[in-house]
């Protein structure tokens, strides 16, 4: 056996061992993470907004900026908060699921921006739902790398919340729609990815594709450099090639530069719809997900719908508010665009406002599955 063959065998064995060690390490890390997440306790808060609320989405942006204060640099797995909008018995409710030990802090930050709201701790509406109902769920994904921003409330002529609540208001007696936006703060190092991305595009280096594609491109680039050097065709040291970008490309890079100037949260958005059949539930998921396409910009970013789920596992992920992967980064302006409390410009019917006659009953019996509509 030649020395070359022996070397290749040794390298292959070493590579396999490295992969096995990496997989075992990740499995152990996931086990520790699940143990940590399951040990945490949460409280569900029902938020009631007065109908004369005049707070614009910028108030929510300031709220999210304050909530970033729960970030702990020495914490391996950051605390998470779940902001939720649901339609039950045709009525629209706003909830926040918060860590038990941060309940007072989070309530304080909500009151700081929305001083006239009513916040009540209630039973979890998810636990009141029958497992026998037909449902379809999906996660919303980004169309591009998360360094690219979505369209935000600053670029809307009307409140983007109105389009979402309008879809939730159009449900039948047998239908329910649940929207869950889970966030956890991240350190400012996520901005480095955006800086590197902009610099790479301006210098003509593509960061797209998977890691193998990047390695292959890098290898080709290295060969090209060797050939140019051998033929004395290399450019002089310090001389950089000028990359001319189109208008949309240049605007996209400026959008990235603007996005990374603000605080960011790892985010995950889930949609879960219940109906009298799988077909109806699937159709409702597509409609609700379609409402988020108002945040899409062709040369920047936007939302798309991921895989559709009809199994109990997805229901459990929603119920336990599990956020196991890295999600995608949304900054505070983007989050405020997707989730903020309704104001006077949102004229959607059936929003449960503070002072409504149906409020007290729903607080005492929080979303009982058998609650009769006529009782309201």
Between CA 10 and CA 354 the distance in angstroms is: 70
The predicted-structure confidence for 153-166, as pLDDT tens digits, reads as follows 999 999 999 999 99
> Which residues, other chains included, contact 55 with Cβ-Cβ below 8 Å and sequence gap of 6+?
113, 114, 341, 343
Q: What is the pLDDT of residue 246?
A: 81
Provide mean pLDDT across the span 327-338.
Answer: 97
In the predicted structure, residue 376 carries a pLDDT above the cut 90: no
In the predicted structure, residue 233 carries a pLDDT above the cut 90: no
In the predicted structure, residue 32 carries a pLDDT above the cut 90: no
| 333 and 61 Cβ atoms separated by less than 8 Å | yes
Q: What is the pLDDT of residue 234?
A: 44
Provide mean pLDDT across the span 326-344.
Answer: 96
Between CA 143 and CA 301 the distance in angstroms is: 6
Q: What is the pLDDT of residue 293?
A: 96
Least confident segment among 134-143, 293-302, 359-368: 359-368
Provide mean pLDDT across the span 15-34.
Answer: 71
Q: What is the DSSP letter of 368?
A: -
Least confident segment among 37-41, 208-212, 277-281, 345-349: 208-212
Q: What is the pLDDT of residue 356?
A: 60
88 forms bridges with which residues in the sheet?
91
Q: Mean pLDDT highest for which of 1-5, 177-181, 247-251?
A: 177-181
In the predicted structure, residue 26 carries a pLDDT above the cut 50: yes
Provide mean pLDDT across the span 55-81.
Answer: 94
Provide mean pLDDT across the span 233-262.
Answer: 75
> Which residues, other chains included, contact 346 with Cβ-Cβ below 8 Å and sequence gap of 6+?
159, 161, 162, 165
b/e 248-271 (16+ beta carbons within 10 angstroms → b): eeeebbebbbebbebbbbbbbbbb
Provide mean pLDDT across the span 95-120.
Answer: 96
The predicted-structure confidence for 284-316, as pLDDT tens digits, reads as follows 999 999 999 999 999 999 999 999 999 899 999
Q: What is the pLDDT of residue 19?
A: 79
């Amino acid at each position: 056996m030649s020395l070359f063959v022996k070397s290749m065998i040794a390298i292959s064995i070493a590579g396999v061992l490295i992969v096995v060690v990496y997989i075992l390490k990740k499995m152990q890390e996931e086990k520790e993470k699940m143990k940590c997440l399951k040990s945490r306790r949460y409280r569900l808060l029902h938020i009631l907004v007065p109908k004369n609320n005049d707070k614009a989405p910028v108030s929510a942006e300031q709220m999210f900026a304050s909530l970033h204060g729960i970030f702990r640099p020495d914490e391996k797995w950051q605390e998470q908060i779940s902001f939720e909008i649901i339609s039950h018995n045709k009525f629209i409710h706003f909830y926040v699921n918060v860590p038990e030990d941060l309940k007072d802090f989070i309530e304080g930050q909500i009151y700081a921006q929305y001083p006239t709201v009513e916040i009540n701790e209630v039973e979890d509406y998810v636990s009141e739902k029958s497992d026998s109902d037909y449902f379809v769920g999906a996660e919303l994904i980004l169309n591009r790398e998360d360094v690219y921003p979505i369209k935000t409330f600053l670029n809307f002529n009307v409140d983007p919340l109105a389009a979402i609540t309008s879809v939730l208001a159009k449900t039948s007696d047998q239908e329910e729609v649940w929207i869950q936006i889970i966030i956890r703060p991240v350190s400012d190092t996520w901005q480095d990815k955006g800086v590197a991305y902009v610099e790479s595009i301006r210098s003509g280096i593509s960061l797209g594709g998977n890691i193998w594609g990047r390695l292959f491109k890098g290898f080709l680039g290295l060969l090209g450099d060797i050939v140019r050097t051998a033929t004395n065709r290399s450019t002089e040291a310090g001389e950089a090639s000028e990359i001319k970008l189109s208008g949309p490309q240049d605007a996209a890079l400026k959008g990235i530069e603007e996005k990374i100037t603000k605080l960011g949260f790892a985010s995950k958005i889930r949609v879960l719809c219940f109906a009298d059949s799988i077909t109806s539930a699937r159709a409702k998921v597509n409609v609700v997900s379609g409402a988020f396409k108002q945040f899409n910009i062709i040369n920047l970013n936007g939302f798309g719908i991921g895989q559709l789920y009809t199994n109990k596992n997805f229901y459990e992920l929603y119920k336990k508010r599990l956020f196991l992967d890295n999600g995608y980064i949304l900054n505070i302006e983007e989050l405020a665009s997707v989730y903020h409390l309704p104001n006077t410009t949102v004229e959607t019917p059936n929003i449960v406002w503070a002072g409504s006659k149906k409020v007290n009953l729903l607080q005492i019996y929080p979303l009982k599955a058998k609650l009769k509509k006529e009782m309201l």
